[in-house]
Each structure stands twice: as C-alpha cells, then as structure tokens.
A and B are shown apart, each in its own frame.
Chain A
C-alpha cells in the first residue's frame, strides 16, 4: 500500500516544549515538503527537501527545523521559538515525470496546552 503517513494525528504542546511531527513515504519520491495551514487559509510552505541530506527554507521557516537523513522520512520539529504553533501541518511528496504532482499525507493537528 503506497502512500504518505503522518503521525501523530493530534499533538499537544506545552509552553517551551519542542515537538516532532513524523512524515514517511514509500512512493520512492525524492522531494518532500512541509506546509502549515491555519483555519480558513491556504497552505504556507515551511521547509522542503529535494534530495537526501539537503533541504531549503520555505516562506515561514522561523521556529521550525527539519532533517532528511533518509529518502523515506522528513520529520519536522516545532521548536519553542515558534510562538503560535497551533495549526494543521501537512507533509507532501512529489513524483517525477512530465508534470510533477504533489501528494499529501493525512496531516497532524498541533494544539498548544
């Protein structure tokens, strides 16, 4: 069963705490992405990675960090520096071909206690 998995589905963060969101794909895609979505808003790009051991900042990278040690995995850490982390976090990966389409995981909803 090919696809993108994200865990956990819901995550609660306490003040000053770092939390890590998991994203795994078995689609053999090189590129992976993290987006944030706030209520009633579109998607904003946090970080993306086109290849293992390389990643670039997106539009709203402050307060977040990522790693890409394996092709299948692209975890996102929400650090204590991110003062307003409550949002829906979406991971995506991109295939290759004539038109490179992005496919999304089910998302993680992060809430602050």
Chain B
C-alpha cells in the first residue's frame, strides 16, 4: 500500500516565526509532490508543487524535496495568522494517474 504520512498536529507557531511542515512517502519512485492549503470548511487550494530534489521558493513558501530520504517539507517564513489552516501533502507515485493525500497537518499561527 502506497502511503503518505503527515503529523496531524496541531502545530502551533508564533506570528513571524518559521512554520515547518513535514511529509514522508513510501514509494522511492514517486514523481511529483504537492502542497495544498485548506481553510476550515473550504476546499484545498494548491500552494506549491515540486518534482526535483532540492528547494523551490515562492514568496514566503519554500518546498524542500529529498528523494533519497523520501520526505518533502514546506517552510512558511514570517508566519501570519492568515496562514492558520490544514496543510495537505499529496504525492503522485510512479506510473500513477492519481494523487495520494496525507491526512493533513493543522497549523495555528498565534498573534
């Protein structure tokens, strides 16, 4: 069974600090990796995707991928209360046409 694991949290971070969210996956041959943000009662919205080893930056967000260790992380710099949400990690496994989602990490930014 191909799996994606996230710490469900809640993760509590003070405003202005760096929030670090982690995700591990079971298939070493996985192709691409996605981070979605989901506010309570709303649908997920795509924040970033990454498919090459290393870091990818977009504004305050940085995705980090380490295929050898089979983990992907999301860093949020200068955290704002509006970043409080559940963050879902999704992985497209090798040869698959569908995504497998982790259970999500609930993040709370404290003013």
Residues of the B chain whose Cβ atoms lie less than 8 Å from the Cβ of A100: 32, 92
Evaluate contact between B8 and A40: CB separation under 8 angstroms: yes
Q: Which of B67-111 contact A (CB under 8 A)?
A: 88, 90, 92, 97-99, 101-104
Q: Does A75 contact B (CB under 8 A)?
A: no
Q: How far is the CA of A58 from the CA of B98 in the complex (A)?
A: 9
Do A106 and B103 touch (CB < 8 A)? no
B97 touches A31 (CB 8 A): yes
| A42→B43 contact, CB < 8 A | no
> Number of residues in A with C-beta < 8 Å to the partner?
23
List CB contacts (< 8 Å) of A17-41 with chain B. Answer: 31, 33, 35, 40-41
A70 to B49, CA, bound (A): 29
23 A-B residue contacts at CB 8 Å? A35-B101, A40-B8, A40-B103, A42-B6, A43-B44, A45-B98, A45-B99, A50-B97, A90-B44, A98-B51, A99-B49, A99-B51, A101-B34, A101-B49, A102-B99, A103-B46, A104-B36, A104-B43, A104-B45, A105-B43, A106-B43, A107-B42, A107-B43
